[in-house]
Amino acid sequence: MPDEADPSIAQSLERKLSTILSADVAEFSRLMGEDEEGTLRTFRGHKQVFESLVAMHRGRIFNTAGDAILAEFVSAVEAVRCATDIQAALRTRNDQLPLSRQVRFRIGVNLGDVMVHGQDLLGDGVNVAARLQTAAEPGGICISGSVFDQIRNKLSLSFQSLGEMNFKNIQQPVRTFSITEAEGGGVLPAPQPRAEKTSPAKWIAAGLLALLLAGGGYWAYTVKERSATQHASQVKAAAPPEATPHEATKPGAQEAGTEQPQPTPNVAQPVQTAEASRQTTSHAPAQRGAAATSAMGAGPHDGVYSGQICYGQTPKLPASCYHAEGTISGNKITGQWPMGKDTGITMFLAGEVAPSGDVKIEMHSEKADGSHVAAINMTGTLREGLISAQGSFLKGRSATLNWRKSPGAAR
């Protein structure tokens, strides 16, 4: 048997730091089972494109086995550029095939220490790249944290963190990122981040916290109700007797209720008092009421506007619309609303309305920590109570806004 403990063999092993690109065909067994010859023809054509792009980016293919390809690069930047170019080129070729016959590669890229064995490379640096490839979506790319640290300020890419992932036969968790968009290469398929596992102790702590909050909330509610009842009693005791219709027309009758408007000539005071009472006890939303109050006489367009905001279709996302609203006061338009249930993301809107009716709007969404998620710039017009605006996200997705002034809003 070979003497694996021979010190001379260990000393002859060369180690170096390399960026490894590992690629493998998704669902290769199914494709071969359905059509061996057709699959092989497509795979060979894809492989020629793959090999030419590796050479173009100054890499070398050092191992192939069946549908798997391993390539080495001196530069992490060149390796990732090569990976995005490969996926863009193969997507163009696959678009000419039926969806069930497309040959799509998963790609993983890792920067790590490797051992040189002739023309082959071995070690964890290679193994991690191969495991990252399994985490990628068909047609997608996953990279390790070591690669991300090298390229994040050098390439125009969008990333999605998948957190620290545990892979088979890899001792330490690997920081993993998926490339979601490449400049000139379009949107790339990306897996969803895995949900964090919550220990039983965390569930127990969360339950206790919920009980404490519920108990505190009930106590606060009872105190508030008791205070409200006491306040109502005090107000009732201090209030003067209700004025009769005859008394309401006498001078000084308005002093009985400071919130009542001044009498209008030839209008019966009891009718005006009832109308004022209905306005005082209205349950309209606070924002709309505030907007209407501040808008009185402030500008010709003042009021609340609401309607649809629609986003255009992209290769990865379908077209979608949702309802929102904003408030115009003077020449300013503002608004904010939550983006979906339990996302923790809020959309903010701000803009200006020119005297001519031209409208400029900026929208951006923020996480709870204040970090920006996306931004939209829009321009349009305000005519006869209708705002129509168009624009796009910074990455090009189209957006349109069509809002109409709400009935009863201040003019």
SS (H, E, C) 110-176: EEEEEEEECCEEECHHHHHHHHHHHHCCCCCEEEEHHHHHHHCCCCCEEEEEEEEECCCCCCCCEEE
Return the minimum-mean-pLDDT range out of 10-24, 96-110, 209-223.
209-223
Our measurement of the distance from residue 7's CA atom to the centroid of its chain's CA atoms, rounded to an integer in Å, reads: 55
Q: What is the mean pLDDT of residues 147-175?
A: 94
Instruction: Tell me the three state secondary structure of residue 243.
Output: coil
pLDDT score for 82: 97
Which residue segments constitute the domains of the chain, with CATH numbers given?
13-187 (3.30.70.1230), 286-405 (2.40.128)
Identity of the highest mean pLDDT range in 94-103, 212-221, 259-268, 285-294: 94-103
Q: What is the mean pLDDT of residues 220-240?
A: 59
pLDDT score for 206: 66
What is the rounded distance in angstroms from the CA atom of residue 335 to the CA atom of residue 299? 18
pLDDT score for 192: 72
pLDDT score for 218: 61
Q: How far is the CA of 249 from the CAs of 241, 245, 253, in angstroms?
A: 15, 7, 7
pTM, two decimal places = 0.49
Strand pairing class (105-117; 14-25) = antiparallel
What is the rounded distance in angstroms from the CA atom of residue 362 to the CA atom of residue 382? 16
pLDDT at 284 over 90: no
Q: How far is the CA of 366 from the CAs of 9, 109, 332, 363, in angstroms?
A: 57, 31, 21, 10
Residue 279's pLDDT band (cuts 50, 70, 90): very low
- 277 vs 234, higher pLDDT: 234
- 337 vs 121, higher pLDDT: 121
pLDDT at 369 over 90: no
Residue 356, beta-bridge partner list = none
Q: What is the mean pLDDT of residues 271-289?
A: 42
Residue 177 near residue 142, CB atoms below 8 Å: yes
What is the rounded distance in angstroms from the CA atom of residue 292 to the CA atom of residue 394? 34
- Residues of the chain with pLDDT > 90, as a percent, come to 49
What is the rounded distance in angstroms from the CA atom of residue 50 to the CA atom of residue 56? 10
Q: What is the mean pLDDT of residues 299-324?
A: 84
Residue 53, beta-bridge partner list = none
pLDDT at 339 over 70: yes
Identity of the highest mean pLDDT range in 112-121, 269-278, 314-323: 112-121
What is the rounded distance in angstroms from the CA atom of residue 88 to the CA atom of residue 358? 40
pLDDT at 253 over 90: no
- 297 vs 187, higher pLDDT: 187
Q: How far is the CA of 271 from the CAs of 241, 242, 261, in angstroms?
A: 18, 14, 12
pLDDT score for 266: 44
- 21 vs 156, higher pLDDT: 21
What is the rounded distance in angstroms from the CA atom of residue 46 to the CA atom of residue 24? 12
Instruction: Tell me the three state secondary structure of residue 215.
Output: helix
pLDDT at 164 over 80: yes
pLDDT score for 267: 38
pLDDT at 254 over 60: no
pLDDT at 315 over 90: no
pLDDT score for 278: 42
pLDDT score for 280: 42
Q: What is the mean pLDDT of the chain?
A: 80
pLDDT score for 322: 84
Return the minimum-mean-pLDDT range out of 77-86, 185-194, 229-238.
229-238
- 381 vs 210, higher pLDDT: 381
pLDDT score for 273: 41
pLDDT at 183 over 80: no
pLDDT score for 282: 41
Q: Which amino acid is at 52?
A: S
- Residues of the chain with pLDDT > 70, as a percent, come to 69
- 214 vs 160, higher pLDDT: 160
pLDDT at 27 over 50: yes
Element (H, E) at 239: none
pLDDT score for 224: 63
- 111 vs 210, higher pLDDT: 111
